[in-house]
Structure 1
Amino acid sequence: MADDEDVSMSEVTAPFRQVLFISAGASHSVALLSGNIVCSWGRGEDGQLGHGDAEDRLSPTRLSALDGLDILSVTCGADHTTAYSLSRTEVYSWGW
């Protein structure tokens, strides 16, 4: 960026959540936040975001299907995502 270029800033508002885990795939990401909230964003073409569609998400979007599952960790592969539930001792996976 040159010194004479304008910079656009956006205001970020509360409430904030602590990020416990974050992982990135080829073109998507997933995060586990405090309060057992899982969010994903990025390219959704192969279902790797877990929202039941193939839409892209430009900002972190909550995965409500994982609510109440006591997720301990999240990870991304190139075009898939996994989440591990501690209370159910199960691994959930979606995408290609």
Structure 2
Amino acid sequence: MRITVNKDRFTVYNRQSAKISERNNLGDQGFLRILNDGQEVSFYFSANGKDWTRVERTIEASGFNHNVFGEFLSLRAGLFAYGAGEVRFDNFVYRKP
């Protein structure tokens, strides 16, 4: 699962297919929150880090577990950037609910 963000859209991919695509009304800066609750992954975005908007759809993630998805070892969150331009990741927190 991966998320791409540009000045126009937030897009969530489940394996290789785009599953969720929402208009980006935040501009160049914003906050992203990903919540995995019982294998149901929800996505939220915010302009200020206080007022959150939930993306309409969720993704069921149990198919990414190691006992289902080939010999994949684990499902963990990570951040990366590619392409031209600059990105800054700040306040990345990974915790169990």
Return the structure number with greater relative CO, CA threshold 8 A, min gap 6. 1
- Higher strand content, 1 or 2: 1
Which one has the largest radius of gyration? 1
* TM-score, structure 2 normalization: 0.34
